[in-house]
Structure 1
């Protein structure tokens, strides 16, 4: 036992060694399914705030933050203290769906953040991931309505479990997976740069809203009335696409008129990430079911549904999950929610996001490979394009997924961690800690411009 303790202490606190050696062992131990180590080839020794240190003592500015999970960054002291408090309290670490004083406090606080201070909502704790919560939301919508269809949107991402994957837009993980959940109808989602209808601008948004409403109303559409519509108010993995306010309001109006449950997937965009506590708040709507995970657990696994009480059609035990009683996650989640609320972090995120978009717009003038900068708050996307090729009829250049991948690599070599997304992986995505400072965002800008130059991209003024 002492040997095991020494090994744990050593690798947990005093890690050193060689990145390549760790990666080689990981390749030996783990399935081919691993993805991040292929794009970010290092082994992490420690992390603090927005900074990560690898086993070779190299430092990286982390603008991924666990795909948005770490709202307060790495190892926030209040977060660590909340974990210590649970460990020394005598609480069990997992309780299934049995309650505790901690769960009681967390539930009340989370509900208070939902529309109308949560008076019309109840909570359902599901399995520990966002995909688990999506599965529960889809099942509940079908159970309540007695209908089986679901409408989702191109570019949407809802998880990798069977039902969640069925309503996810990306085709790659669906290859050779037969027997997907039936009656999933995909609709085009608005895109600020590449309108799916080829119209663009306000006219494109209005046409997409009309298209959706007509599909629901048309008795010859071929699509049966669905149980639910599921969407993200800001698509994340799909390339950071915010839903236009009027379009989202129209979706809400039509679903209400037809008794279709509207499920808002706030797994990545929720909890101040977009400059509002929830991304759907930008449109002033109230969903029927809100899917929450990532930041809600303060960095630890937790997934929760906010359900309008009138739609809570579950019978006892009809949807379960062993790890839905994760007490540590409720402690870190409660700490996160309080810090975000008490310090008006959403307002600060909105201000920093607008400042950063302005800085990126200036960078775009010098580097035309930056085709489009979009997003809300600190959920931003930079679409990389081929400006030396002809524009389409809407003025858009072809996407450049290869350069985007090279830029991610050059960013990593410069000590900057970014994710990619969107069609052809052409969008570089920013999801940093919500507490990142303007000075640290300045470091990001410097490193990003350095990566552009290292990738052989010349500024316009130098040509």
Structure 2
């Protein structure tokens, strides 16, 4: 169950002596992937590599090239690749003879995972909580949360936000904001009212800052109270405390408290999607803790499984009005994921990794913010903890009313490619695909953080033609 050690060379260049012996060449594997997999594949287009081994933050390809992984399975790998705590949990569970698949039957592993998860939740929420194990993807948990609230309220509609991403199944896709991924899919599972999400750099009201967030809250409240506003009382509001795919845009704490007040006063259940923000990613164990709000339901996946597939919803017991089988699925009883998830949750808590994410994330963001004057293609640096976005812009373009330059998605793509050449994996996101997103594991070392910043800065400088001018 052990993984051969991987060391990080300063250059990120391959070490032929340490390269694995592949069963097939990388080119051949990639060619067969293109021929056999669907055109919907995404990450494989951005990163034409064939990972062979991985440990911590480092991925090694079949060609022996090593990369620092700032994607971390889209935030799934809180402890990085093949962490000893995770491997030990897998080995222990397999050797115990525990059943690996039991539908929704109770097992010691499920009971232990639930204990570990509830111990991390805000007390006011945990004291009244029920849990439902969903299919292994976050999108299924979003579906479950929406169905739960539709059942509890007898209503159908959903309040969702611009820039949101909640998944790719019918109900989750309806609540997702991206026009590009929705425009070719007919229909939807719910009637969605789209509300403005605070985005200071490109404020939907054209004012930015705190005032933009205030207007977003005022608009929401007045729309819901307007008898001619067209909004039938909804089953729920769903939001992200930090929009991930939306470009690492954090919601202001005051705005989140306003959303909780507005929904509470109108008896609208509030669902917070913590699929990517949970388990220490934002500098608190759960992103809702920054604002102090207590939602009616939280959607969880990704890191809660300790790198294996697992998704749940945790919700206030008052909404538990489902009939047996109201939301089911064959792979709800993933014993291995529950074991690795419990081990990961306890390790993150015991080692203070959420606090570590806050410190390292703030340091990295400050360094990136300091590069803006030197590299004017960096339009905005934002995020929370180790969930960081760097928006790439055209510095020669005309400023908008918020002082933002036009987006530069093609330049962002070149930055991503230049990072890969330097042994750094980063992905893009945001409304225009112009934001470089950093999601390193919570176990990132100071040395690795420094290497990420240097490689990213060098890549941006090369793309912007400023490489020779950097001091």
TM over 0.5, shorter chain: yes
- Provide the rounded CA distance (Å) in 1 between the counterparts of 2:163 and 2:260: 19
Q: Match of 2:94, SS? A: helix
- Provide the rounded CA distance (Å) in 1 between the counterparts of 2:66 and 2:260: 45
CA positional deviation for 1:449:
1.9
After superposition, the C-alpha distances for 1:223-246 in whole angstroms (9 at most, x for unaligned) are: 111010001000000011101111
In the alignment, which residue of structure 1 is the partner of 2:8? Answer: none
- Check conservation: 2:458, 2:467, Cα contact below 8 A: no
1:107 aligned onto 2:114? yes
* The one of 447, 450, 453 aligned to 2:458: 450
How is 1:233-244 mapped onto 2 (pairs within 5 angstroms)? 233-244=241-252
After superposition, the C-alpha distances for 1:232-268 in whole angstroms (9 at most, x for unaligned) are: 0000000111011111101001111111110000000
- Check conservation: 1:48, 1:74, Cα contact below 8 A: yes
* The one of 28, 49, 58 aligned to 1:42: 49
- Provide the rounded CA distance (Å) in 2 between the counterparts of 1:14 and 1:90: 33
- Check conservation: 1:111, 1:122, Cα contact below 8 A: no
In the alignment, which residue of structure 2 is the partner of 1:33? Answer: 40
* The one of 52, 55, 58 aligned to 2:65: 58
- Provide the rounded CA distance (Å) in 1 between the counterparts of 2:429 and 2:420: 16
CA positional deviation for 1:19:
2.3
In the alignment, which residue of structure 2 is the partner of 1:98? Answer: 105
CA positional deviation for 1:389:
1.4
- Check conservation: 1:111, 1:123, Cα contact below 8 A: no
* The one of 193, 209, 213 aligned to 1:201: 209
Q: Match of 2:432, SS? A: helix
1:89 aligned onto 2:96? yes
- Provide the rounded CA distance (Å) in 1 between the counterparts of 2:468 and 2:200: 24
CA positional deviation for 1:181:
2.3
In the alignment, which residue of structure 2 is the partner of 1:438? Answer: 446
- Structure 2 unmatched runs, 5+: 1-19
- Structure 1 unmatched runs, 5+: 1-12
1:211 aligned onto 2:219? yes
In the alignment, which residue of structure 1 is the partner of 2:188? Answer: 180
Q: How many residues align?
A: 451
- Check conservation: 2:392, 2:408, Cα contact below 8 A: yes
Alpha carbons of 1:388 and 1:261: their partners in 2 closer, same or farther (altered >3 Å)? same
- Provide the rounded CA distance (Å) in 2 between the counterparts of 1:46 and 1:460: 35
In the alignment, which residue of structure 2 is the partner of 1:267? Answer: 275
- Provide the rounded CA distance (Å) in 2 between the counterparts of 1:219 and 1:378: 42
- Provide the rounded CA distance (Å) in 2 between the counterparts of 1:379 and 1:462: 26
CA positional deviation for 1:16:
5.4
* The one of 73, 85, 93 aligned to 2:80: 73
CA positional deviation for 1:456:
4.4
CA positional deviation for 1:455:
2.1
- Check conservation: 1:17, 1:56, Cα contact below 8 A: no
After superposition, the C-alpha distances for 1:82-135 in whole angstroms (9 at most, x for unaligned) are: 001111111110111101111111111211212217111011001000000000
- Provide the rounded CA distance (Å) in 2 between the counterparts of 1:285 and 1:340: 22
CA positional deviation for 1:314:
0.9
1:421 aligned onto 2:429? yes
After superposition, the C-alpha distances for 1:10-43 in whole angstroms (9 at most, x for unaligned) are: xxx8535432211101112211111111110011
Q: Match of 1:375, SS? A: strand
How is 1:126-137 mapped onto 2 (pairs within 5 angstroms)? 126-137=134-145
Comparing 59-68 and 447-456, the one that deviates more: 447-456
1:372 aligned onto 2:380? yes
- Provide the rounded CA distance (Å) in 1 between the counterparts of 2:470 and 2:158: 52
* The one of 4, 25, 42 aligned to 1:18: 25
- Provide the rounded CA distance (Å) in 1 between the counterparts of 2:438 and 2:311: 23
- Provide the rounded CA distance (Å) in 2 between the counterparts of 1:53 and 1:438: 21
- Check conservation: 1:368, 1:460, Cα contact below 8 A: no
1:408 aligned onto 2:416? yes
- Provide the rounded CA distance (Å) in 2 between the counterparts of 1:17 and 1:365: 46
CA positional deviation for 1:461:
5.1
After superposition, the C-alpha distances for 1:432-451 in whole angstroms (9 at most, x for unaligned) are: 10100111010011111221
CA positional deviation for 1:408:
0.3
- Provide the rounded CA distance (Å) in 2 between the counterparts of 1:165 and 1:394: 30
Q: Match of 2:391, SS? A: strand
CA positional deviation for 1:191:
0.3
After superposition, the C-alpha distances for 1:196-243 in whole angstroms (9 at most, x for unaligned) are: 111111111111110011111111111111010001000000011101
Q: Match of 2:202, SS? A: coil
* The one of 324, 333, 357 aligned to 1:325: 333
- Check conservation: 2:375, 2:461, Cα contact below 8 A: no
Q: Match of 2:465, SS? A: coil
TM-score between both structures, scaled by the size of structure 2: 0.94
TM-score between both structures, scaled by the size of structure 1: 0.95
